[in-house]
Copies of this chain bind each other. A is one copy, B any other.
Amino acid sequence: MADLIYRKVIDDIKNRIFDDEFKDNRLPDERSLSESYEVSRSTIKRALDILVQQGVIFKKRGSGTFINPLYLKNQSLFQYEGNNLGVTDNIITTGHKSSIKLLDFQVTPANPEIQQNLFLNENEFVYKIERLRLIDGKPIIIETGYIPIKLAPELSPETVKKSIFHFMNQEENKRVSKSFMSIMTEPSNKEDQKLLDLSENEPVGIMAGTFFLDDGTPFEFSSMRVHYKYLNYNTFINLNSD
| Chain A residues within CB distance 8 Å of chain B | 25, 50, 54-55, 57-58, 60, 63, 66-70, 73-74, 77, 81-83, 85, 88, 90, 116-117, 119, 176-187, 200-205, 210, 212, 214-218, 228, 231-240, 242
- Taking CB atoms, residues of chain B closer than 8 Å to A235 are 83, 180-181, 183, 235
3 A-B pairs with the lowest CB-CB distances in the bound complex, closest first? A203-B203, A185-B185, A58-B216
Partner of A237, one of B179, B214, B218: B179
- Taking CB atoms, residues of chain B closer than 8 Å to A232 are 182-184
Find out whether the CB atom of B216 lies under 8 angstroms from the CB atom of A182: no
Find out whether the CB atom of A50 lies under 8 angstroms from the CB atom of B187: no
Partner of A212, one of B58, B186, B200, B216: B58
Partner of A231, one of B54, B183, B202, B215: B183
Find out whether the CB atom of B216 lies under 8 angstroms from the CB atom of A203: no
Chain B min CB distance to A146 (Å): 15
Q: Nearest CB to that of A211 among chain B residues?
A: B239
Find out whether the CB atom of A119 lies under 8 angstroms from the CB atom of B69: yes
Chain B min CB distance to A50 (Å): 6
Find out whether the CB atom of B186 lies under 8 angstroms from the CB atom of A68: no
Q: Nearest CB to that of A85 among chain B residues?
A: B237
- Tell me the bound Cα distance from A179 to B235 in angstroms: 8
Find out whether the CB atom of B181 lies under 8 angstroms from the CB atom of A234: yes
Known interface pairs A25-B216, A216-B25, A238-B83; A180-B233 also in contact (CB < 8 Å): no
Task: Find the residue from A119, A182, A235 having the highest chain B CB count within 10 A.
Answer: A235
